[in-house]
Amino acid sequence: MLDLKFVLANLDAVKLNCRRRNIKVDINRLVAMEEERRARLKHVEEIHRQQNENAAAMKAKLPPDERNMLIAKGRELKEAVANEEATLSQLTNNVDVLLRQIPNMTHPDAPIGASEQDNREIRRHGSPTKFDFQPKDHVTLGLDLGLIDFESAAFVTGQKFYYLKNEAALLEFALIQYSLTTLIKDGFTPIITPDLARAEILDGIGFNPRGAETQIYSIENTDLCLIATAEITLGGMLKDAILDEGGLPLKFAGVSHCFRTEAGAAGKESKGLYRVHQFTKIEMFAFTTPKTSEATHETFVGLEERLFAGLGIPYRVTDICTGDLGGPAYRKYDLEAWMPGRSEKGDWGEVTSTSNCTDYQARRLGIRFRREGEKKPVFVHMINGTAIAISRALIAILENYQQRDGSVLIPKALIPYMNGVEKIMPRGKA
């Protein structure tokens, strides 16, 4: 969340930012509540002053009548301060709830727009794959090659779940090894994270863990939720920590399953593996100083590009507009891969994203660092980015590497991890 002092000192800029990000927050109500909270705080402080004064008077030798008057006054003050502190606590909570609804400020270079249609393409790698035959989509390829079983998963678990079989199972582990090998060489610490987190951690990262609009699965009769991304568990790992500046940046590569309700997701573009309720993802995460966060963010998008360029997948990078950013992100880049089966002529589909959330999440989670020679710690900046989301990477590989005879070639970068498999053949063919 934003610093309340910053909000109050920059009301016009904060209101404009909310409008540009399509987020409705009653900033005027926040100001009024904060003014009332401060007035109540002064009143509580005045009652405490009177209590101290009354307690000091009780120490003197007094006639019984005067002592009884002071005792009665003490009771009145105690009751008064209890009532005022209860009201103050409620006001403080209300201010905090409203403050958390305000999105992060936005990078000045981010495109201004209302929806994904206003995102700005900034570069491309490769050209859309051309075929001398009619290409299949990944759903058809997965069924023909015995790679994906949606029907059994729907029976066992429900719609939007799936079994990966045969070479598709090998591909999942190959993609994990491929991405981790790349990230470890770049200084990332590999971590397998829990698939569950407390609701307060999700809230700190910026996810809504409860309510009708949530995309989060909650575990009944607990405060636990299934995570939608390892960003949640990696970011929450250092909650309330105070780090040393010399140890920053801290870079982690988290492997986890991800669970999303995908409520309302439908249509041809969401078919098959593109929008599912569970998938495996390798997530990049960094804790940095404010001075280095933008450079780290650029490094993250560069790593995403390196991974997909290494797979030989055509892609483009888009700078996400204000209306499509989400609450925590200061700036966000998406990498969209070419997917030949996404429509009749093929189309781009998002495969990774990376966001610089500055100190927005750190302020919620209490993660700070101490500069050398300074006593007061300051909030770290937090950057997240998808290295590989397995389900969508599989779409790009199957659809771009398909051959006329129905087979699918394995990208050269993955062959060392594929147990000798270089081509996926239709079942029963050599």
Report the catalytic residues: 260, 275, 350, 353, 392
Structure tokens, 192: 């397998």
| Inter-residue contact 153 to 163 (CB < 8 Å) | yes
- The rounded radius of gyration (Å) of the Cα atoms in the chain is 27
- Residue 427 DSSP label: T
Structure tokens, 137: 């989509």
Compute the C-alpha angle 340/345/346, nearest 5°: 30
Q: How many CB atoms lie within 10 A of CB 426?
A: 13
Place of tokens 């925590």: 328
Gap between the Cα atoms of 1 and 360, Å rounded: 5
Structure tokens, 67: 């002592």
Q: 310 phi and psi, to 5 degrees?
A: -65, -25
| Inter-residue contact 131 to 382 (CB < 8 Å) | no
Structure tokens, 139: 């759903």
End-to-end CA distance of the chain: 58
Gap between the Cα atoms of 195 and 4, Å rounded: 33
Q: Which helix (H) or strand (E) holds 94?
A: helix 64-100
Structure tokens, 30: 């926040």
Structure tokens, 251: 């870079």
